Structure 1
Amino acid sequence: MRRPVLVLAGVDVRLVPAALGAWAVAAWGVTAGPGATVVAALGAVALAGVAARRWPRVALVAVAVAAVATSVTWRLGDVRATPTAALAEQRARVTLEVQVSRDGRTFEGVGGPGTVVGLVVLRLRDQRGRVHGVRDPVTAFLVGEHRDLVVGRRLTVDGRLSPADDDQDTATLRVERRSAVQGSAWWWSASERVRAGVRHAVDHVPGAPAALVPALVVGDDADLSPRVEEEFRRTGLTHLLAVSGTNLTIVLALVLAVARAGRAPPRVLLAVGLLGVVGFVLLARPEPSVLRAAGMGVVGLAALGLGSRGGVRTLCVAVVALLFCDPWLSRAAGFVLSVSATAGILLLAPPFVRALERWAPRWVAVAVAVPLAAQAACTPVIAALSSEVSVVAVVANLLAAPAVAPATVLGLVAGLLDLVVPSVASVLGTAAAACAGWIVLVAHHAAALPGASLVWPYPWWWLLGVVPVVLWLGRRAASRPVVATGLVLGLCLAMLRPPSPGWPPPGWVMVQCDVGQGDATVLRSGQDEAVVVDAGLEPVDVDRCLRGLGVRRIPALVLTHGDADHVGGRSGVAGGRAVGAVLVGRPGPTVPGVPTRTVSRGDRLVVGDVTADVLWPRAQPTTRARRIEVDRNADSVVLRVVVRGVTLLLTGDVGEEAQEHVLRAGSVVRADVLKVAHHGSADTSWRFTRAVAPRLATVSVGAENDYGHPTGTALRMLRQVGAVVHRTDHEGDVAVVVRDGRLSVVSRGSGQRSR
């Protein structure tokens, strides 16, 4: 007698519990340690044995859990029990023979560019001359740009090891000296030539389209500007900038179409498809995101042949297999988004297609339902990551979708032809760039809409209940053309003139943005414009704050000093906004295309309603700053600002010594509002706090940060001078408001950022 198949709404969900169980044990196991995962694996094996006859579905879950727990145990033990890990604990200097496992990526550090690259250690020689043959993954950091560090190449490096920041790595390596690279295996050399061919085929095209084509084809987004990346993020098009299942599906569709045109039999088609997957992984690099894309792309193809019922089953198998190969994917945002989007398309798109088909052509129904389903499934995850809900994402994806496949296919063919016929490749590259140009145009204009995305001030998990209700209502409305048209018009109105219930509060003069463990302060200088002081660590956080305030023009961006938690998000300030000038106290980070001006004590800035006097630093570096170059806090820009009669003191990260210097210089520091220095560090002056005597104090600080900020010392000082303290980790964005000549504070729910 055949057992009944477990079906929910016409979908085979028998493997869903197994996939969820494997996911849960992987997410727990990578932080719990090998001892705990051994116990979990043995317990799951015992459960599988007991349940095998009477409860086969329970046994299936137990087998999946046991497999993944065993993989976690083995991987953790393999990473930790090596000579490399032991030497990392000692922070030893070593000489290593290594092979590049992840292409080097250039980043902009405070002291200049640097490169981070993934390496596999093959041979290790310690300070005593002992040689160890190993195969350990490490992440290495080098000063300067090193574009020759691509996957597969070998070299010798000297440097200092330290404990890894990531459980996937054995150690972190600071490279002090390196050799020239040696050749790599033929398959890596071939893939690099194709990647270079894609870049070469479009390098005659100016601007963002040429940079986007390599990102679409092979995930190479190194030349994309921060502004374009931010526009893609705001419009829900970020998935196009990294290798995804969509890329593989497009490539496989092309490969299989060519094979079918040659009347290949089914077995040959299968072989060609598998070779296409292998070639794609080699071309785009076997990084976790690419392996995830390969799994999700195969799921997409399976769904084309098996429907959503078989597609969900295949998705579950892919999840378990990927987690077995790489358990750390369980905690990767990209993996969560990929699985969510794929599940959304398989489960949610068909009912919406059926509802829309009652009055619209099928191709229109599919074009609308697929991005809608994917975005709806990803909405809770996106809100958890960014505290935002994208409104324009469905429309942007709908408009951009027709150009994605042509740009990808033309770019790939151009890269292949560049190896033999560069002139023809340039023609195809021009066509690919034209398609990419349309995608860039969609992202640019969609991101400029005031309501492109809305802040979600509540816990993200509320959306697990809200989204299904909205989808149920939306599906009922989709079958009625009048109601559906009304909803679309309402959505368009929300994007053009978004509602802003209670925010920004009327009469606001200053907002301390919730950017986690960093600083970003907004001073209102006029209608739709503000002076911004510091930019936090992540562009997304400060951009969210500025959009919530309706700021479109920034006459001046003040970067108090060069620490990453103050300047790392500057592209989020400049993205889509006109920035007049960047003001700094010492030479440091800049904003491309924006003039930079150095300010010092005695300078004054007047912009609209904002009048700011610079109290620090002095025109020449302090003796301490010259002696200890890494202490940039001592030279933070300190501003005394007046906005609509309210006096504010913004102190950057100055410590007690610099605060005492400001007082000895005779500066007037008394203020109504104090932006507390250095996130409430204990390195603060009692004399300085008493001289400021603020009525209100704001502390920009990350929830549960590792520094203990704000400290009890700083809070006691503020209470003793009668200041009411408002913290971003507890209250979110904090706005100082003037109403009828009285100061008050309005806060906007915290996202509890822990950075």
Structure 2
Amino acid sequence: MSGAAVAGAVTSAADREGDRRQLDLRLLVPALLAWAIGAWALGWPIRTRLVVAAVAALLGLLLVLGTVHRARHAGGGWRSRASRGRPLLALTLLALALVLGASSGHDAARRAGPVPALADERASVTAEAVVLTEPVRVRSGFGGEPRVRLRVRLEQVTARGETTPVRAPVLLMAPGEWAQVGWHDRVRLSGRLAAAERGDEVVAHLSPRGPPEEVGDRSPVRAVAEHMRTELRGAVEPLPADAQGLLPALVIGDTSQTPAELSDDMLLVGMSHLSAVSGSNVAVVLAAVIGLTRLVALPRRWRPWAAGAALAFFVVLARPEPSVLRAATMGAIGLLGLSASRRGSGPAALCAAILLLLSLDPWLARSYGFALSTLATLGLLLLAGPWSRAINAHLPRRLHVIGPAVAIPLAAQLVCAPVVVLLQGTVSVVAVLANLLAAPLVAPATIAGVLAAVVAVVHTAPATLIAWCGAPFALGIAAIARLAADAPGGGAIGWPDGPPGAVLLAALTTLGVLGGPWLLARARASPVVAGCCVAVLGVGVLPERTFTWPPPDWRLVACDVGQGDALVLASGPGRAVLVDAGPEPELVDGCLDRLDVTRLDAIVLTHLHADHVDGLAGALDGRRADRLLLGPVDDPPEQAHEVHRLADAAGVPVTRVVAGDTVELGQVRAEVWWPARRISEGSASNNGSVVLRADVGGLDTLLLGDVEREAGRAMLLASRRQAWMQRDGPDVLKMPHHGSANLDEDFLDSVAAPTAIISVGADNTYGHPSPSALTWLAEHGTRTLRTDTDGDVAVRADRSVLTAR
């Protein structure tokens, strides 16, 4: 609020005769600069932030006083260009002082007390805490129990015989029983603290022992919200799976019932914001309520109260976590920006909201969710209106609904694209189109979901009927996401990742927005210019795999070598670790050539069957190999003899590996999980396969060789005794034995992953992959890639998957 007040005072003095909308746009500069510097400063010591805040506040106040003095005594001279810049500089300094002062104050308060010191010493504590966020399930560790992640605020800590009141936010990685707690529950817990990184939104990490012990009664707000959420889940239960998952996701951000494959597809094509509580959901609800108040002729003075009540209801239903409150704020501002009578005040309101939210929670400055919400709202305020009017200028009046329907999602997507590059490392050429197609379906699905939630409190049957009314729209959204994800490469084009890629895309977007009208006018006047524009756009939107392989930033490639295995792990530029060599030298040689691999830091032969080792000569042809890693089982003997002969001829040393060994080669760090012993049941060679849990430049993979049921059961039992094997599930699972039916499903349940690869030959005589393996994958919502149908399969650092076909 104070930011808006200062803005009005200073800028009105600067330019009373200027356009109001221009003044409001200028207010964004202080807010955005304060936001950027505030994010950077979170890692500074508290004292440094306080000093900088004090200096900025002092200089800002001096500039304000100087501006006011000149306005009173200097006649019109103070309107010079230099003078007009002083109010903006003053406002920027005051905004910076507000954000840095707030962050240092919050940081000092949360670090007060013994928690940071106890965390540095990894002390065990008993504490009472308030839950700040809903538990988020994480994939269970290998053979471990399900776990959840959540934030709590410690309010009382007992350690070493002393009990101290505190207000310290900590991050919990907790057992599955913690999934039952919710926002604002009070709990008692015991566990061991660990230090957090400087600048984190928490002061420590805590691993609780055992389930939570709830203290006191559940808050009335939480009880009401939980009752309504439960009734909504019951109302949508009869719906098809996609609708059953999407309606609660659209309304309350509950993705627990959304199929995993659909969630992955929505993430890939830039539609994941629809399955979380976002500003667009809030705006839809508020717009519907305002439209209803007009329909029933509610007096104008009561309409803001009705909208406020609807907003409060929606926040309670979605649970008033920080992310929901942020979405509510941005949604209300977005709706304000679309209002014809209030459009000029939208940027000022956004500026005030940025400063207010950052002063209440400074760690939002580093939140991708906050960045996406803010930028989407900014795009709506600055671009959606003019673009909508420009589109409608070429349409008959009866089709004017098309203007905003196209302009709003287009503006949001373009403005958010640089942040998406930071998150995903790619630019999706189908994201804009997918969101444009889905946009008309979001509002009816959301409104139907909200109405179903309200009615479900009274009775489930009519709520289910209402939910069925929203089901076609939810199914349409799901169909669009799946269709877009099936585009070659997910519709992604290669792009520099990290901050350089984000800055480049932001610069190009700005250039396009500012120069677009001029270029469009030239294209209309000249066919040559129009042709050049079409050619540039056509090349730009080609999926990257149509002109480049391997894809940039690849981490793992499963080579199409027929009925066999050959997996390539990127260990550095031109270097790799090869896991198995397939049945044919030419096939593995060609795959490595396509990947530009000239040096193999290691070759791992999981076992010595022909479909894994007969291509070894091709892998060694024209490449340096530093070592050959084998398991302890030399079976069959003739294959073992040939492998050693080839290794000796190439001068490659042979090393044996067993469970517990680690291998570090470039960006590949692998743990050997099997074999721990020889298994006589089943195939001794298959059950003696080397199993690797490999981190490949941040991509977590589990490569299971050809292990069968017996080895799977043995690993499951071993993992319950070995703490180092109890980790979250991998990102990518290489299915064992080409998708054979001879597998242990309990073992596979413990290592389920969002993406699985089956290395298998087309039309093989073994019946691979088996129907039971494919059924297991489908039941777990796993995205499955097969070399017989997809060709070479590449997985990138951002977990996106591209195929050669």
Match of 2:200 in 1: 167
Q: Deviations over 1:353-390 (max 9, x none)?
A: 33323322422222222222222212222223322112
Q: Deviations over 1:268-323 (max 9, x none)?
A: 32233333333333322333322221221121122123455321221111111111
Match of 1:78 in 2: 109
Match of 1:375 in 2: 413
Deviation at 1:65, TM superposition (A): 1.2
User: Is the alpha carbon distance of 1:7 and 1:330 closer, same or farther for their aligned partners in structure 2, counting shifts above 3 Å?
Assistant: farther
User: Is the alpha carbon distance of 1:523 and 1:167 closer, same or farther for their aligned partners in structure 2, counting shifts above 3 Å?
Assistant: same
Greater shift in the superposed pair: 18-27 or 438-447: 18-27
1:454 aligns with 2:469: no
1:465 aligns with 2:510: no
Residues 500-519 of structure 1 aligned to structure 2 (within 5 Å)? 503-504=548-549, 514=553, 519=555
User: Is the alpha carbon distance of 1:178 and 1:646 closer, same or farther for their aligned partners in structure 2, counting shifts above 3 Å?
Assistant: closer
User: Radius of gyration: which is bigger?
Assistant: 2
Q: CA–CA distance in 1 between the matches of 2:622 and 2:148?
A: 37
Deviation at 1:486, TM superposition (A): 8.6
Q: Name the aligned partner's letter for residue 363 of structure 1.
A: V
User: Is the alpha carbon distance of 1:512 and 1:19 closer, same or farther for their aligned partners in structure 2, counting shifts above 3 Å?
Assistant: closer
1:615 pairs with one of 605, 625, 636: 605
Q: CA–CA distance in 2 between the matches of 1:271 and 1:135?
A: 34
Deviation at 1:683, TM superposition (A): 9.7
Deviation at 1:80, TM superposition (A): 1.9
SS of structure 2 residue aligned to 1:243: coil
Question: Is the 8 Å Cα contact of residues 392 and 495 (structure 1) preserved in structure 2?
Answer: no
Greater shift in the superposed pair: 131-140 or 28-37: 131-140
Please, what is the CA RMSD of the aligned residues? 4.5
Match of 1:220 in 2: 254
Higher helix share: 2
1:642 aligns with 2:632: no
2:156 pairs with one of 111, 120, 123: 123
Question: Is the 8 Å Cα contact of residues 245 and 255 (structure 2) preserved in structure 1?
Answer: yes
Q: Name the aligned partner's letter for residue 193 of structure 2.
A: L
Give me the TM-score of the superposition, normalised by structure 2.
0.66
Q: Name the aligned partner's letter for residue 122 of structure 1.
A: E
Deviation at 1:643, TM superposition (A): 8.6
Q: Name the aligned partner's letter for residue 380 of structure 1.
A: P
Q: CA–CA distance in 1 between the matches of 2:668 and 2:587?
A: 33
Q: Deviations over 1:386-421 (max 9, x none)?
A: 221121122111211111111111111111211111
Greater shift in the superposed pair: 464-473 or 406-415: 464-473
1:288 pairs with one of 322, 326, 329: 322
User: Is the alpha carbon distance of 1:36 and 1:640 closer, same or farther for their aligned partners in structure 2, counting shifts above 3 Å?
Assistant: farther
Match of 2:174 in 1: 142
Q: CA–CA distance in 2 between the matches of 1:153 and 1:535?
A: 45
Q: Name the aligned partner's letter for residue 262 of structure 2.
A: V
Match of 1:26 in 2: 38
Greater shift in the superposed pair: 385-394 or 662-671: 662-671
Q: CA–CA distance in 2 between the matches of 1:356 and 1:200?
A: 43
Q: CA–CA distance in 2 between the matches of 1:28 and 1:176?
A: 35
Match of 1:445 in 2: 483
SS of structure 1 residue aligned to 2:449: helix
Match of 1:298 in 2: 332
2:137 pairs with one of 87, 95, 106: 106
User: Is the alpha carbon distance of 1:661 and 1:14 closer, same or farther for their aligned partners in structure 2, counting shifts above 3 Å?
Assistant: same
1:341 pairs with one of 365, 368, 376: 376
Question: Is the 8 Å Cα contact of residues 156 and 178 (structure 1) preserved in structure 2?
Answer: no
Match of 2:310 in 1: 276
Greater shift in the superposed pair: 490-499 or 174-183: 490-499
Q: CA–CA distance in 1 between the matches of 2:479 and 2:225?
A: 30
Match of 1:384 in 2: 422
Residues 196-275 of structure 1 aligned to structure 2 (within 5 Å)? 196-275=230-309
SS of structure 1 residue aligned to 2:193: strand
- For this pair of structures, how many residues does the alignment match? 601
1:13 aligns with 2:25: yes
Question: Is the 8 Å Cα contact of residues 523 and 530 (structure 1) preserved in structure 2?
Answer: no
User: Is the alpha carbon distance of 1:394 and 1:502 closer, same or farther for their aligned partners in structure 2, counting shifts above 3 Å?
Assistant: closer
User: Is the alpha carbon distance of 1:281 and 1:559 closer, same or farther for their aligned partners in structure 2, counting shifts above 3 Å?
Assistant: farther
Match of 1:521 in 2: 557
Match of 1:42 in 2: 54
User: Is the alpha carbon distance of 1:681 and 1:340 closer, same or farther for their aligned partners in structure 2, counting shifts above 3 Å?
Assistant: closer
Match of 2:359 in 1: 324
User: Is the alpha carbon distance of 1:327 and 1:134 closer, same or farther for their aligned partners in structure 2, counting shifts above 3 Å?
Assistant: same
Q: CA–CA distance in 2 between the matches of 1:187 and 1:164?
A: 31
Match of 1:4 in 2: 15
Match of 2:761 in 1: none
Q: CA–CA distance in 2 between the matches of 1:121 and 1:442?
A: 44
Q: Name the aligned partner's letter for residue 4 of structure 1.
A: D
Deviation at 1:607, TM superposition (A): 12
SS of structure 2 residue aligned to 1:158: strand
Match of 1:155 in 2: 187
Residues 539-558 of structure 1 aligned to structure 2 (within 5 Å)? none
Deviation at 1:21, TM superposition (A): 2.7
Q: Name the aligned partner's letter for residue 141 of structure 1.
A: M
Question: Is the 8 Å Cα contact of residues 33 and 76 (structure 1) preserved in structure 2?
Answer: no
1:66 aligns with 2:66: no
Q: CA–CA distance in 1 between the matches of 2:181 and 2:375?
A: 34
Q: CA–CA distance in 2 between the matches of 1:2 and 1:68?
A: 24
Q: Name the aligned partner's letter for residue 33 of structure 1.
A: P
User: Is the alpha carbon distance of 1:262 and 1:559 closer, same or farther for their aligned partners in structure 2, counting shifts above 3 Å?
Assistant: farther
Question: Is the 8 Å Cα contact of residues 269 and 431 (structure 2) preserved in structure 1?
Answer: yes
Deviation at 1:617, TM superposition (A): 6.7
Deviation at 1:501, TM superposition (A): 7.5
Deviation at 1:233, TM superposition (A): 2.1
Q: Name the aligned partner's letter for residue 390 of structure 1.
A: S
Q: Name the aligned partner's letter for residue 242 of structure 1.
A: A
2:389 pairs with one of 354, 367, 380: 354
SS of structure 1 residue aligned to 2:135: strand
User: Is the alpha carbon distance of 1:453 and 1:81 closer, same or farther for their aligned partners in structure 2, counting shifts above 3 Å?
Assistant: same
Q: Name the aligned partner's letter for residue 353 of structure 1.
A: S
User: Is the alpha carbon distance of 1:153 and 1:700 closer, same or farther for their aligned partners in structure 2, counting shifts above 3 Å?
Assistant: closer
Residues 423-502 of structure 1 aligned to structure 2 (within 5 Å)? 423-450=461-488, 452-457=491-496, 459-460=500-501, 461-472=503-514, 474-475=516-517, 498=543
Q: CA–CA distance in 2 between the matches of 1:105 and 1:643?
A: 44
SS of structure 1 residue aligned to 2:132: strand
User: Is the alpha carbon distance of 1:224 and 1:314 closer, same or farther for their aligned partners in structure 2, counting shifts above 3 Å?
Assistant: same
Question: Is the 8 Å Cα contact of residues 615 and 662 (structure 1) preserved in structure 2?
Answer: no
Question: Is the 8 Å Cα contact of residues 100 and 152 (structure 1) preserved in structure 2?
Answer: yes
Q: Name the aligned partner's letter for residue 233 of structure 1.
A: L
Give me the TM-score of the superposition, normalised by structure 1.
0.70
User: Is the alpha carbon distance of 1:263 and 1:378 closer, same or farther for their aligned partners in structure 2, counting shifts above 3 Å?
Assistant: same
Q: CA–CA distance in 2 between the matches of 1:386 and 1:617?
A: 36
Q: Deviations over 1:599-645 (max 9, x none)?
A: xx9x97679935999734799xxxxxxxxxxxxxxxxxx97573994
Q: CA–CA distance in 2 between the matches of 1:534 and 1:418?
A: 52
Q: Name the aligned partner's letter for residue 321 of structure 1.
A: L
Give the unaligned 5+ runs of structure 2.
1-11, 68-85, 572-576, 592-602, 654-661, 671-694, 700-793, 800-805
Question: Is the 8 Å Cα contact of residues 158 and 178 (structure 1) preserved in structure 2?
Answer: no
Q: CA–CA distance in 2 between the matches of 1:525 and 1:204?
A: 44
Match of 1:678 in 2: 664
